[in-house]
Amino acid sequence: MTLSKIWVFAEATDGKVSSTTLEILTKARELSGTVEAIYVGGDADAVAAVLGAHGATAIHSTGDIGSALPGVPVAAAIADAVASAGAPDAILFATSYAGRDIAGRLSVKLDQPVLTNCVDLVLDGDSLSVVEPVFGGTTDVTTKAVGSGPAIILLRPKSFVAEESGGAAAAVSTIAVPDTGAAGAAKIIERHVEERQGPQLEDAAVVVSGGRGLGEAEKYQMIEDLAKLLHAAPGASRAIVDAGWVPYSYQVGQTGKVVKPTVYIAAGISGATQHMVGMKGSKNIIAINKDAEAPIFSISDLGIVGDVNKVIPALIEALKARG
């Protein structure tokens, strides 16, 4: 048995479709006879080939929504499309800023729950279940949507591997954005881009993350230095992001980025649930922590029980000496 229709909320930046969108499309076509994309932006034609190549046969595009935050207008457009075009079995979103906002608003519009933090989709007959990791990924909870309308599902990045289907460019059609009045009045006035050097956290082959064990904000420079030597992306635990040592864009974990690099180095990170969910898919994990009982050691391939403020400088010197 397969589902008959799934909609996937497709996201792109400057015409480049997000990798999570392609991952979700790949999974969706395994589950459903028809996969269609929902898209926001004036350039749906430009992404039609990529979305089609990953399994979407149609794109329902809202067109350009100007400076509006997407949650309210896009959820309203999707709800109208569900009413007019027929409800899909499921509407899938990436766990992203836009995805969470739209899914939350849509949930109220359709009076359907949102299944969140999902890392897998399982079909049992024609009933769709989702898998959500809890307690730092040590436990998997499987949940079935039992409502009558479409299941609204938020999926975590890197849950699936994107593969092309060889499909033709998706056919683009327009879905109207209704007037949402004052509720839709939040407007973006100006965008600010924070410069980051080196590889992107999500794409880097090596990630070096620091945590509370560093002791103080100034010590994070060691992490940056080590990352540079390894051509790695620097990351951080939520604890030091919350403490204001580094910007949120550095955060690896449940709330931040999900990373699956070849090597992940956790320096002074004890391994809170929040963090482990974001990095336990790494191929190799090296942990340095002074507490031998730290949970991070239960998932690391190499664990060094010691002071990061001694081990990291020594490591940096050794790497520099190799040239």
The single residue among 20, 112, 159, 209 that binds another protein, judged by CB under 8 A, is 112
How many angstroms separate the CA atoms of 212 and 128, rounded? 40
Minimum distance, C-beta of residue 206 to another protein, in the bound complex (Å): 6
How many angstroms separate the CA atoms of 128 and 151, rounded? 8
Question: What residues between 38 and 67 interact with another protein by CB under 8 A?
Answer: none
Task: Give the neighbor-by-neighbor strand order of the sheet with 90-94.
Answer: 114-118, 151-155, 90-94, 3-10, 32-39, 58-61, 171-174
**Residue closer to another protein, measured from CB, 53 or 272:** 272
Minimum distance, C-beta of residue 1 to another protein, in the bound complex (Å): 17
Question: What residues between 119 and 138 interact with another protein by CB under 8 A?
Answer: 129, 133-135, 137-138
Q: Is 212 in the site for another protein (CB under 8 A)?
A: no
CA distances from 266 to 228, 253, 285, 298 (A): 15, 12, 7, 13
Token pair, residue 128, equals 């769709």
Minimum distance, C-beta of residue 59 to another protein, in the bound complex (Å): 22
How many angstroms separate the CA atoms of 118 and 155, rounded? 5
User: What is the contact mask toward another protein in residues 281 to 310, using x (rule: CB under 8 A)?
Assistant: ---xxx-x---x----xxxxxxxxxxx--x
Site size toward another protein, by CB under 8 A: 96
The helix or strand, by DSSP H or E, that contains position 238, with its residue range, turns out to be: helix 238-242
Sequential DSSP letters for 251-265: BBSSSSB----SEEE
Choose one: 25-33, 35-43, 216-224, 238-246; the region binding another protein (CB under 8 A).
238-246
The single residue among 69, 123, 169, 172 that binds another protein, judged by CB under 8 A, is 69
Token pair, residue 288, equals 């340095």
Choose one: 54-62, 171-179, 211-219, 249-257; the region binding another protein (CB under 8 A).
249-257
**Residue closer to another protein, measured from CB, 84 or 187:** 187
